[in-house]
Structure 1
Amino acid sequence: MTELDNSTDLERTARAADSGANATRVFQSKLAGGSTIPTERVDEVATAAIKALHDVIRDKQVTYEEYDYLKKWMIQVGLDGEWPLFLDVWLEHVVEEVANADREGSKGTIEGPYYIPDAPMLPAECTLEMRADEPGTPLRFQGQVRAVDGTPLSAAVVDIWHADDLGFYSQFAPGLPEWLFRGRVITDDEGRFAINTMQPAPYQIPTDGSCGTLITAAGWHAWRPAHIHLKVSAPDHLLITTQLYFEGGEYVGTDIADAVKPELLLTPTPRADGQGNEVTYDFVLDPA
């Protein structure tokens, strides 16, 4: 556990450009091997997307002034490194919906731009890394990983990450410990896990860059509800990527990323020992 010191003051200085650059770097690293998508598929999808934009231009009678501002904005998105943020906020939830339409197990939702692979490995009962006197409400997050037939999945991996009480993610804001609220938890013989952490807060997506420019111009809000990110996997089963939200929390019904589903809502209750809240949520994985 690391000292809090003035790190909460430092993390408030997080800039969209720095966060965007890191998100771009992380994203590019996982596609280093190059594409195997057939030419015919690229042609099919790209042609349909361009045609859809043509239809929007005709239907909305887009002017040259609007077109020029669009070009200027798109150039700036690249300079800010915010394409991962833009795509994850406004498009990924539909890609996820299509990709997982046939699953029988737990519901998934978007990954978002703040995932970091290779977080520390932790036992089934554990405490995520946090600072001394970490602000927020303690949360014990527990559950079981099972197959669709009900079989407990031992040695499953519950890869968890979430923001702190100020809404910032480690490795995407200055002054935070490298693995703050990140870990890969290995389930026990019964597929169970119990993770001690802090309840995250709602947060704005970065608004001082290009995505913020779009939000302001369109008169939208920039908020995401408080949530816990997870990737849950086990041998011979399909990995599920999801987020869990808090019932009744701010922005649950108006998430800018449109990623909330009824099946993903948590209802924390006070712990018997008075040490914050606890919640139980089980994961069901489809066979590979």
Structure 2
Amino acid sequence: MTEVTESQATAAESGASATERFRQKQKVETATSKERVSTLATEVLTAIHDVIRRHQVTYEEYDALKAWMIQVGLDGEWPLFLDVFVEHVVEQVANDSRQGSKGSIEGPYYVPGAPALPAEATLPMRDGEAGTPLLFQGQVRGVDGKSLPGAVLDVWQADSAGYYAQFAPSLPEWNLRGVVTADDEGTFRIHTILPAPYQIPTDGSTGNLISAAGWHAWRPAHLHFKIASPGHHTITTQLYFEGGEHVTDDIATAVKPELILDPVPASDGNGLEVTYDFVLDPA
């Protein structure tokens, strides 16, 4: 059997992995009441009916939609499609009242259980990992300004080719993934590499929609974080890079001005560094 390389990762492989991760997550989710389901489902269906009437949707278009929706399921791409096109609004609503750091979407590529790392750490990576070295450092505080000792930062990112471990077949299991515990002052120093912008998988159903609509399929380079501390709300966010490709036209509409980093040359002359503090709201 020919080994599938990192650059040959497909929508089917990514979709299957994302779907399995979501199924595992759903095992511990709380059920929604029948009244809530009825309200939301009715309004969604009403909105669809309105679109059909306003745009005089034909039977040919309706059948094409059914065929596409069936194929999305067969491709295992519902997590990908929903996280790219819908999640940013859910995140905005969920975090609208918070005073601390801005959140962003989780996306389909989070995997729990990454290796535990100390307050100053290098993310797991291959020998000679390609990419510009990056030192990401800062402090975790509460909205009252007090540091949060032992705050936990779950971090994951794409590599310099735009691929995520466990979603591209040849990458090591925990490549560029780790769970960092801040020190007694809530500070952390994470050594990693600059991620790359990446095109979401386009060889499946989501890609077919993007092509048919004439959209692009690119996300800007970013770092993912979940930041947690006892007695505080966990932040899920993404951090982007000033001047990066697609920062202004992210297909997932997840970029916020507060989440854009502006790295400078590292003080040791090795790559870049940036300081960014996270502020958590009380639970």
Structure 2, gaps ≥5 residues long: none
Q: Which amino acid aligns with 1:13?
A: Q
Say whether 1:242 aligns with 2:237. yes
Instruction: Report the more deviating stretch, 127-136 or 256-265.
Output: 127-136
Identify which of 89, 108, 113 aligns with 2:108. Answer: 113
Question: In structure 2, what is the Cα distance between the partners aligned to 1:149 and 1:200?
Answer: 32
Say whether 1:260 aligns with 2:255. yes
Question: In structure 2, what is the Cα distance between the partners aligned to 1:73 and 1:172?
Answer: 23
Q: Which amino acid aligns with 1:137?
A: T
2:52 counterpart residue number:
57
Question: In structure 2, what is the Cα distance between the partners aligned to 1:34 and 1:273?
Answer: 46
Identify which of 108, 129, 133 aligns with 1:134. Answer: 129
* Deviation sequence 1:174-219 (CA, Å, 0-9, x none): 1101100000000000000000000000000000000000000000
1:20 counterpart residue number:
15
Percentage of identical aligned residues: 67
Alpha-carbon offset, residue 36 of structure 1? 2.0
Alpha-carbon offset, residue 46 of structure 1? 0.4
Query: Structure 1 length as normaliser, TM-score?
Result: 0.96
Question: In structure 2, what is the Cα distance between the partners aligned to 1:129 and 1:253?
Answer: 30
Alpha-carbon offset, residue 10 of structure 1? 1.2
Question: In structure 2, what is the Cα distance between the partners aligned to 1:221 and 1:250?
Answer: 12
Q: Which amino acid aligns with 2:81?
A: F
1:72 counterpart residue number:
67
1:85-164 alignment, distance < 5 Å:
85-164=80-159
Give the secondary structure class of the aligned counterpart of 2:258: helix
Alpha-carbon offset, residue 133 of structure 1? 1.1
Identify which of 1, 6, 9 aligns with 1:11. Answer: 6
Give the secondary structure class of the aligned counterpart of 2:52: helix
Query: Structure 2 length as normaliser, TM-score?
Result: 0.98
1:175 counterpart residue number:
170
Pairs aligned (count): 281
Alpha-carbon offset, residue 34 of structure 1? 5.8
2:208 counterpart residue number:
213
* Deviation sequence 1:29-61 (CA, Å, 0-9, x none): 011146421100000000000000000111111
Runs of 4+ in 1 over 6 A off after TM superposition: none
* Deviation sequence 1:128-182 (CA, Å, 0-9, x none): 0111111110000000000000010011001000000000000000110110000
Q: Which amino acid aligns with 2:261?
A: L
Question: In structure 1, what is the Cα distance between the partners aligned to 2:77 and 2:207?
Answer: 10
Structure 1, gaps ≥5 residues long: 1-6
Question: In structure 2, what is the Cα distance between the partners aligned to 1:244 and 1:262?
Answer: 10
Say whether 1:195 aligns with 2:184. no
* Deviation sequence 1:49-80 (CA, Å, 0-9, x none): 00000001111111111110000000000000
